[in-house]
Amino acid sequence: MAPLDGVRVLELCHFLAGPYAGFVLADLGADVVRVEDPSHPDDARSMGPHFQGEQSLYFLALNTGKRSIGVRLATAEGRAVVEDLVRAADVVIDNYRPGVLAKFGLGHDALHALNPAVITCSLTGYGETGPDAQRAGYDYTIQALAGVMSLAGEPDGPPTKAGISYVDHSGGISAALGVCAALVERARTGTGTHVDVGLFDVQISMLTYLASWQRNRGADFTRTANSAHPSLVPAQNFRTADGHLALFVGNDGMWRRFVDAVGDPELASERFATREGRLAHRDEVIESVQRVLLTASSHEWEARLDDVGVACGAVNDVGGALVEPQSRARGLVLQNEHPAYGHYEHVRGPLPTLGPSALRPAPLLGEHTAELLEDLGYSPERVAALRDAGVVS
């Protein structure tokens, strides 16, 4: 059994952070049910530029492993359906701005009144309190406000965002962690609780030692060329004969192994033997290391240096990362098949050894409406009547 087998999660989410939280929980075995309003479908369903049949691959990547029920939240009958779903749920996740679901009578206080054991989790840009609570929060803007854009990019270039939506992804993981913690608490108390997750909170938390240096020593931070570490040398990206290699020499013992492996007499100089010496002679060390690494390919250096325990990695593109032997060995890329839109591949969640070996394919909107309602005790005739009235789809 997967850790969250038997846990029912209702997901009222859109786009990325919330759906990724649900994806992580599904990959840990939870039964994640997307509650989708056909009047306002998730924009991710139409997100280009790549599609599988008529289905957005962006959407499929974030919603594999889930079921879907289509319910019109603006109708009294639709809200009654959602309330019945809540009574049978363990967790409800949303990523709307604070107060949006309350306007439909589905705020977390109302949900706890329906089911005192339910755990609610709201994932918002800035959390539910404070002066920015109602502010629109997106990955781009929060990378900027949380200080991390100022740290990325070349010294003479502009601030730069990360190459992936890491604010949304780390926020989704944090929401999943909050839900798991709340499930543990409920096992003790029998009562559900509300989890308030702000993307901004998560990013400020991830400043860790940088925040400590700034608050306690007034440290200033400047961008470094080639993504170099500010104090460890050599620890940065280097050009090779065919691409780039990320090299990280973390201590003096690793430096000695590196020098022995490359066999360059200049690098064997005593003035480079210590961390302090390499930092004092940074430019000279970097120039010499760069000269040596240009003599072979990234993967040739990776193989040679791995053999002696020197931390390094060829700078892959996305396609290269997905076919790494380690990706295959850990089962990080899965195959899936849907009767309507066919075969596709996707990555799995961040804890691959804990989840099931396979996930159901991402759902069409309302694909599981009938089975979910019949599980709640609705008769086929009642389900048909709700469909005919446009309450569910």
Residue 94, strand partner residues: 12, 122
- Helices H, strands E: what count in the chain? 16, 13
Residue 382 to residues 68, 84, 374, 379, Cα–Cα distance (Å) = 18, 14, 9, 5
Catalytic annotation on 375? Answer: no
Find, among 49, 73, 71, 56, the residue nearest to 19 by Cα. Answer: 56
CA distance 110 to 108: 5
Q: Does 325 sit behind a cis peptide bond, omega within 30 degrees of 0 on the bond before it? A: no
The residue assigned the tokens 């210590």 is: 274
Helix, strand, or coil here: 75? Answer: coil
Inter-residue contact 327 to 312 (CB < 8 Å)? no
The dihedral region occupied by 370, where left means phi > 0, alpha psi between -120 and 50, and beta the remainder, is alpha
Inter-residue contact 249 to 257 (CB < 8 Å)? no
φ, ψ (nearest 5 deg) of residue 105: 75, 20
Edge-to-edge strands, sheet with 194-198: 66-70, 31-36, 8-12, 91-94, 119-124, 194-198
Q: Which residues contact 282 (CB under 8 A, 6 or more apart)?
A: 233
Catalogue the E-assigned strands of the chain.
8-12, 31-36, 51-52, 55-56, 66-70, 91-94, 119-124, 194-198, 235-239, 244-248, 311-314, 333-338, 342-347
Q: Which amino acid is at 321?
A: A
CA distance 81 to 93: 17
* Annotated active-site residue in 168, 201, 260, 306: 168
Catalytic residue list: 168
